């Protein structure tokens, strides 16, 4: 799953407009507009497709955190990561949506996917820590799917 796929899935799951995605990126000092966002959301074989870098996706996720939780107390914005592992995407979504462990597990349950509390904890540990586990793409995909199912239930 590349950055474009993740953005496409998140935009749908969180029910965001192209303008809202561009606005989130602007919170981090990144430059974007709805037309550019539309090009990121196209399929790879569509005319006008524009590849989204990991740093661009990181800017969107950091902007989403600022949008949902407010800016950092010191007013700084984090530097975007050049390589964005699935663990970081999961962490940033958890922070942006202010989800506790049990709420994250509920999201997986909505996607009809079983993740244990220990497994979940291993995804949020620092790489190199003894109990760290790399988050498989399927886990991230199911998490985003569960976010969308929660939205569908509320409409």
Mean local confidence (pLDDT), 64-87: 91
- Taking only the tens place, the pLDDT of each residue in 9-37 is 999 999 999 999 999 999 998 889 999 99
- Buried-exposed string 104-119: b where 16+ CB fall within 10 A, e elsewhere: bbebbebbeeebeeee
pLDDT band for position 151 (50/70/90)?
low
- Report d(CA 39, CA 28) in Å as an integer: 20
Give the tokens for residue 47.
Answer: 């005319």
Instruction: Please enumerate in sequence order all residues whose Cβ is within 8 A of that of 76, keeping only pairs 6 or more positions apart, or say none.
Output: none
pLDDT band for position 155 (50/70/90)?
very low
| Closest by CA position to 52, among listed 114, 10, 5 | 5
* Residue ranges covered by each domain of the chain: 3-69, 86-154
């Amino acid at each position: 799953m590349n950055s474009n796929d993740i953005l496409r899935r998140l935009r749908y799951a969180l029910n965001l407009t192209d303008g809202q995605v561009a606005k989130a990126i602007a919170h981090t000092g990144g430059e974007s507009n709805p037309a550019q966002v539309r090009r990121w959301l196209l399929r790879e074989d569509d005319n006008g497709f524009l590849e989204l870098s990991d740093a661009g996706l990181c800017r969107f996720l950091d902007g989403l955190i600022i949008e949902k939780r407010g800016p950092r107390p010191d007013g700084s914005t984090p530097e975007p990561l050049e390589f964005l592992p699935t663990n970081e995407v999961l962490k940033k979504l958890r922070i942006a949506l202010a989800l506790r462990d049990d709420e994250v597990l509920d999201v997986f349950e909505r996607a009809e996917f079983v993740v244990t509390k220990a497994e979940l904890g291993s995804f949020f540990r620092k790489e190199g820590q003894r109990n760290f586990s790399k988050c498989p793409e399927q886990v991230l995909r199911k998490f985003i799917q569960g976010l969308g199912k929660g939205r569908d239930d509320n409409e």
